[in-house]
Amino acid sequence: MEEMTRRELAFCYIYSQEIQKQNSKEQAELFLDSLEIESKKDREYVISVADGVVKNDETITALIAKNLKKGWTIDRISTTDLALLKFAIYEINYIKTPFKIVINEVVNMAKKYGEDNSQSFVNGVLASIVAEEK
């Protein structure tokens, strides 16, 4: 299996949280152990980002909802796309990673993990959010 970046690991764990609707330190540890992630730095990053997404979920979800095209609702977004968006927004707004870096990497993850239209959908929502915040 190819090596995942720590951003991919964080996204995958956020995705699993979206499916299971729960997050705990033990769950995160089990997830990282199952993938044999030994880097302390990577483990801390994934746990920190996942916790941050959960803690700020209401604000992040509201931001996504506000930037959807007319007729779209949060419920229509695939779990994969929602996890990508939540991860990206957290990384941009809370960790303060430059948005160009985050959007580029998240769009690449959308190509890899999402559906056919995921990359353009995720890119469009994130571009709208970034433009609004300038």
- The C-alpha atoms of residue 97 and residue 91 are separated, in whole angstroms, by 6
Helix ranges, 1-134 (H): 6-20, 25-34, 40-55, 57-66, 79-93, 99-113, 118-133
Of 69, 89, 83, nearest in space to 133 by CA: 89
**pLDDT for position 17:** 86
Tens of pLDDT along 52-79?
Answer: 999 999 999 999 999 998 888 898 999 9
pTM above 0.85, yes or no: yes
Rg (CA), the chain: 14
Residue 12 lies in a domain: yes
Is the pLDDT score of 81 beyond 60?
A: yes
Domain of residue 79 covers: 6-133
CATH number reported for the structural domain that contains residue 47 in this entry: 1.10.940.10
Tokens 């419920």, residue located: 75
Domain presence at residue 1: no
Percent of the chain at pLDDT exceeding 70 = 95
Please give the tally of structural domains in the chain.
1
pLDDT confidence bin for 2, thresholds 50/70/90 = low
